[in-house]
Amino acid sequence: MPGYSLLAPIPIMHLRGAVEILQIKEFALFGSEAFDVLNDTESGTKVLIYASHDEAEPIVSYVGTFAGIVGDPMEMRKLEKAGYRPATTEGEKWSFYWKIKKIESLSTPIPLSEIQLPSGKYLNGYPRGPLHVVN
């Protein structure tokens, strides 16, 4: 979706693990059930990342690059074994994985309340999963 970014909640322990993976690998993998959203996201799309869970501040504090999805169970297993998933995700079961590259910390975090939805409205609270937002 041109003109849009992907806003994605990621538990901080998985995020830290992905940053470590990206020091030695081209991409890291996160699991999701939001196929419609992620399948409609172009490779190269900016990912705005906020730490999910109750104790997290309502801010986007990291940015990355979306690099596609992996839905074939054999490929998913192969990439898991090759170390593309954070160790903290062991035992999690997902319908598919999505790839992320180049996770970087933002020098100035963005409050979630300043994130605009395609409808023109602004976020109110924590989204429950990934969604498209206006750049």
Could you give the domains of the chain? 4-113 (2.30.130)
Mean pLDDT of 18-33: 96
Mean pLDDT of 29-37: 94
pTM for the model stands at: 0.92
User: Is the pLDDT assigned to residue 125 strictly greater than 90?
Assistant: no
Encode 21-73 in three state secondary structure. HCCCCCCEEEEECCHHHHHCCCCCCEEEEEEECCCCCCEEEEEEEEEEEECCH
What does the alpha-carbon distance between residue 121 and residue 41 come to, in Å, rounded to a whole number? 20
Q: Would you place residue 135 in the very low, low, confident or very high pLDDT band (cuts 50, 70, 90)? A: confident
List pLDDT tens digits, range 66-98: 999 999 999 999 999 999 999 999 888 999 999
Percent of the chain with pLDDT over 90: 80
SS3 label, residue 7: strand
pLDDT at 39: 93
Q: Would you place residue 2 in the very low, low, confident or very high pLDDT band (cuts 50, 70, 90)? A: low
Element (H, E) at 85: none
Average pLDDT across the chain, whole number: 92
DSSP character at residue 87? G
